[in-house]
Amino acid sequence: LGVIAGDVTGVEMLDSGDYLTPRVNGERYQEKPPLLFWSIALVSAAFGDVDGFTARMPSVVAALITLYVTFLLARRLFDERIAFWAMVVLAFGARFWWQARTAQTDMVLTAFTTLALYAFWRWHEQRRATALIAFYAAIAAGALTKGPPAFIFPLLLVYAFYWKQPEPRKALRFWWGAL
């Protein structure tokens, strides 16, 4: 259903001009949040129609972003050689490769989750507001992609990371991020 729903919803958004209410065969489609469908419609509008290429392009771009951010994170944590191999191993993972070629929300969510984790690590290292804003923006974009998993996993990681350190947890200003 993910590939079909993404293709059909993108077509219906382009045809109707209604980008707020995703539809499949004229019926409201409320199974997933709309970011993937907006992305499909945006890419497809540039090419004039939704087809297999344009419907899959957001997942391909998300996979490339995930690989790049994986490289950046591994380089910060280890070194450039390990970062390169982390990216290569991820790129050749069977499930990663498959998800990168489908018009489903999973790869887009993966990209936003990876961005959130990278932004968190940057905030942990430097305590800069821009990294914290990027952390919460990536979580929000992930929520527009797939819903609750986008904020549950990063926030659980942060909570576990600062398990017995309440001060850094408070410095994350969860109430501000919720806005």
Q: How far is CA 178 from CA 13, 35, 65, in A?
A: 29, 19, 25
Across the chain, mean pLDDT equals 90
* Other residues' Cβ atoms within 10 Å of the Cβ of residue 160: 8
Task: Record the pTM.
Answer: 0.89
Q: Are the CB atoms for 116 and 143 separated by under 8 Å? A: no
Contacts for 43 with CB less than 8 Å, ≥ 6 apart:
54, 57, 58
CA distance 93 to 91: 6
N- to C-terminal Cα distance for the chain? 32
Does the pLDDT of residue 37 top 50, yes or no? yes
| Tens-digit pLDDT profile for residues 10-20 | 778 878 888 88
Residue 54's pLDDT band, with cuts at 50, 70 and 90, is very high
What digits encode the pLDDT tens for the residues 58-86? Answer: 999 999 999 999 999 999 999 999 999 99
The two tokens of residue 28 are 């409201």
- Give the bridge partners for 44, in sequence order: none
The secondary element (H helix, E strand) that includes residue 24 is strand 23-24
List, for residues 134-154, the tens digit of each pLDDT value.
Answer: 999 999 999 999 999 999 999
